[in-house]
Amino acid sequence: QSVLTQPPSVSGAPGQRVTISCTVSSPYIGAGYDVHWYKQLPGTAPKLLIYANINRPSGVPDRFSGSKSDTSASLAITGLQAEDEADYYCQSYDSSLSTWVFGGGTKLTVL
């Protein structure tokens, strides 16, 4: 079981806003560690979406935003579009094991 917990699925209609949560269950992933988000389309490699909690790489639309507290992080997508349908993963670092961890992934369905 991952120390980062995501809902298995979320859905929304085109134009709506959805959020994907990433809950931290390890005391070793806390205020001092960042959460990052990736988008994965079927049959393709993951692609960076948000880094260091709130930052968007060049080319990522501002419809995507991230936030983080000590015990959770969230990815928000506004103005939902068909091409947003994908799997989304959060990622952080577990200092107790010196390992990097991913959430279980959330499948976003655009209705």
Partner 1 sequence: EVQLVESGGGLVQPGGSLRLSCAASGFTFSNYGMNWVRQAPGKGLEWVSYISSSSSTTYYADSVKGRFTISRDNARKSLYLQMNSLRADDTAAYYCARDRGVTGRNWFDPWGQGTLVTVSS
CA-nearest of 12, 13, 3, 28 to 90 is: 3
Interface with partner 1, residue 12, by CB under 8 A: no
Closer CB to partner 1, 37 or 80, in the complex = 37
Q: 13: burial class by Cβ within 10 Å (0-12, 13-18, 19+)? A: exposed
Closer CB to partner 1, 1 or 13, in the complex = 1
Interface with partner 1, residue 68, by CB under 8 A: no
**Binding residues for partner 1, per CB under 8 A?**
2, 32-34, 36, 38, 40, 44-48, 51-52, 57, 89, 91, 93, 95, 97-105
